[in-house]
Amino acid sequence: MSAVDKLKPVETLPGQERYVAPLEETPLRDIDTLDDSSPATSMWADAWRTLRKNPLFIISGILIIFIVFVALFPSVFTKENPNYCTLERSLEGSMPGHPFGFNMQGCDVYARVIYGTRTSISVGILTTIIVVAIGALVGAIAGFFGGWVDAVLSRIVDIFMAIPMLLGAIVVLQMFRSTGSIWKVVLVLALFGWVSVARIARGAVLSSKNLEFNTASTALGSTPMRNLFRHIIPNSLAPIIVIATTSLGSYIVSEATLSFLGIGLPTTTVSWGGDISSAQTILRTDPMVLFYPSAALAITVLAFIMLGDAVKDALDPKSRTA
C-alpha cells in the first residue's frame, strides 16, 4: 500500500476532498509531546543551574569564600598582634614572619591587612542586611497598597534619595564623632542606603501584585497581608538580591572612605581605610605600605561586584538563552 492510500479523506463537498495523514506518521507528534517525567523546576533552580556554569560566579565565589574565611579566622594566617607597634621597626622592609614589612608606627602591615578584613566584611554584610530589610519592607508596602500610602512613602524615599550617601554619612558622623564603633558606621550607611532597595522593591511588587497567583490566593480567602508576605515579596526577591549583592561592595568602599577621612571607625580599630589614610604621607618614599591594604580593598570589592554581575545574569530571564 502506497503512502497516498494510507491518507484518510476528510468529509467535505464533492470535489473538495482533503486528506489527513495518520497521527503516528506525523513527525510533529514527537515535537508537541510534553515530557511529564522530568521534575518541575523553579526560577531559583534555573538560576543556580546557570550560575554553576558561569566562570565569573565560580571565580568570585572562590574569592569571597576565601575572604570570609580570613575574616572569621585571621589567626590561621598570622600570629602577630596587629596593634603591637614598636618604633624601632618603623618602615622596615620584608623579613621572615613579616612579609609586608612595617608601617611608620612599626606595626606589622601583613597582620593589619589580615585583621582589617574582618572589619570591612562586617560593615559590608551588616549594612546590606539592614538596608535590604528596611528597603524591601518600605518598598513592598508602598507598591502593594498604593494610594496615599504609596504617595507618602515615595516622597520620603525621594527626600533621602536627594542626599548623597557619602555626604550624608560625613555630616551625621561629624555630629556623633565622640562615640566610635562599627555599629555607628553601619547604621549611618544604612540610613542613607535603603532608598535604592526601596525603589527596586516597589517596582517589583507593582509588577507582581496583579499576577494570577495573587488573584487565586485572594479568591481562596487569603488576607492582603498574607498575600504580601507569603506570595508577593518572595516572588519579588530576584531584583532585590541583585542590588543587594552589588551594593555590598560599595558599602565596604564607603566605610574605607570614611575611615580614610578620619570620621569613620576609631583609630584603635584595625581597618583598611585607616591604614590607607596613615600611609598617604609616605606614599613617595614607601608606597608599598599603602599598596597592600589598597590591594586587599580592591580585590574584595571586585569579588562582590563580579558576584553581583553573575547573579544579575542568572536571575534576569532576558539574559538567559534556552
3-class DSSP state of 321: coil
> Can you tell me the distance from the alpha carbon of 311 to that of 143, in angstroms, rounded to the nearest whole number?
24
Q: What are the structural domains of the chain?
A: 3-31 (no CATH), 64-319 (1.10.3720.10)
Res 174 pLDDT > 70: yes
Sign of CA dihedral 112, 117, 120, 126: negative
pLDDT in tens, 32-72: 555 556 565 667 777 888 888 889 999 999 999 999 999 99
Q: What integer pLDDT is reported at residue 17 of this predicted model?
A: 59
Residue 237, C-beta contacts closer than 8 angstroms, at least 6 positions apart:
204
- Alpha-carbon distances, residue 197 vs 81, 131, 242, 269, 303 (angstroms): 39, 7, 10, 30, 21
Q: Which residue has the higher pLDDT, 214 or 70?
A: 70
Q: Which residue has the higher pLDDT, 268 or 180?
A: 268
Q: Which residue has the higher pLDDT, 231 or 199?
A: 199
Q: What integer pLDDT is reported at residue 223 of this predicted model?
A: 80
Q: Which range has the worst mean pLDDT, 43-47, 201-205, 254-258, 318-322? A: 318-322
> Can you tell me the distance from the alpha carbon of 266 to that of 189, in angstroms, rounded to the nearest whole number?
16
Q: Which amino acid, one-letter code, is at 218?
A: T
> Can you tell me the distance from the alpha carbon of 206 to that of 140, in angstroms, rounded to the nearest whole number?
8
Which DSSP symbol is given to 235? G
What average pLDDT does range 282-309 have in this prediction?
90
Q: Which residue has the higher pLDDT, 88 or 21?
A: 88
Mean pLDDT of the chain: 83
Res 280 pLDDT > 60: yes
> Can you tell me the distance from the alpha carbon of 254 to that of 259, in angstroms, rounded to the nearest whole number?
9
Res 233 pLDDT > 60: yes
What average pLDDT does range 94-113 have in this prediction?
89
- Alpha-carbon distances, residue 312 vs 50, 83, 151, 196 (angstroms): 11, 40, 29, 16
C-alpha cell at 111: 597582620
Res 16 pLDDT > 70: no
Q: What integer pLDDT is reported at residue 296 of this predicted model?
A: 93
Q: Which amino acid, one-letter code, is at 152?
A: V
pLDDT band at 322 (very low <50, low <70, confident <90, very high): very low
Q: What integer pLDDT is reported at residue 321 of this predicted model?
A: 47
DSSP string for 159-182: HHHTS-HHHHHHHHHHHTTTS--H
Residue 171, C-beta contacts closer than 8 angstroms, at least 6 positions apart:
none
What average pLDDT does range 138-145 have in this prediction?
90
C-alpha cell at 88: 624601632
What average pLDDT does range 236-259 have in this prediction?
88
Res 180 pLDDT > 70: no
Which DSSP symbol is given to 86? -
What average pLDDT does range 269-288 have in this prediction?
87
Contact 195, 161 (CB under 8 A): yes
